[in-house]
């Protein structure tokens, strides 16, 4: 993915447990209308009529020497969201979910 360009749909691996991811999402989405989906995902309203559907599931933990970190595969699917707004939202989410920094951490 080129810097600043966010496709309509893509996947990422996140180093977090489902509980951590959901906690981070609650903070990152505080200024957006969103709802949890019955299957464990979430739907976020980003623009009038534009949405982001998130789905996640646990995958094999990441291992660094003896350290074992929980991991998720997260699917992002934007619908009716213009490229600049997708990029802006992902910058916000990335900053919020960075470990050891970002404005989502005290």
7-24 per-position pLDDT tens digit: 999 999 998 999 999 999
Q: Got the DSSP string for 6-71?
A: --SEEEEEESS-HHHHHHHHHHHTTTSEEEE-TTS-EEEEEETTEEEEEEEEEEEEEEETTEEEEE
Between 48 and 65, the more confident residue is 65
Tokens of 77: 């699917």
Residue 73 is given by DSSP the state E
What mean pLDDT is predicted for residues 41-57? Answer: 93
Contact 104, 93 (CB under 8 A): no
21-41 per-position pLDDT tens digit: 999 999 999 999 999 998 889
What is the pLDDT, as a whole number, of residue 96? 86
Band (103; pLDDT cuts 50, 70, 90): very low
């Amino acid at each position: 993915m080129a810097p600043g360009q966010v496709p309509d749909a893509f996947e990422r691996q996140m180093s977090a447990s489902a509980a951590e991811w959901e906690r981070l999402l609650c903070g990152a989405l505080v200024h957006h209308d969103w709802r949890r989906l019955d299957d464990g995902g979430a739907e976020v309203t980003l623009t009038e009529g534009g949405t982001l559907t998130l789905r996640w599931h646990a995958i094999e933990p990441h291992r660094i020497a003896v350290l074992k970190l929980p991991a998720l595969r997260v699917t992002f699917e934007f619908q009716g969201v213009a490229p600049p707004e997708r990029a802006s939202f992902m910058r916000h989410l990335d900053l919020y979910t960075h470990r050891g920094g970002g404005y989502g951490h005290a």
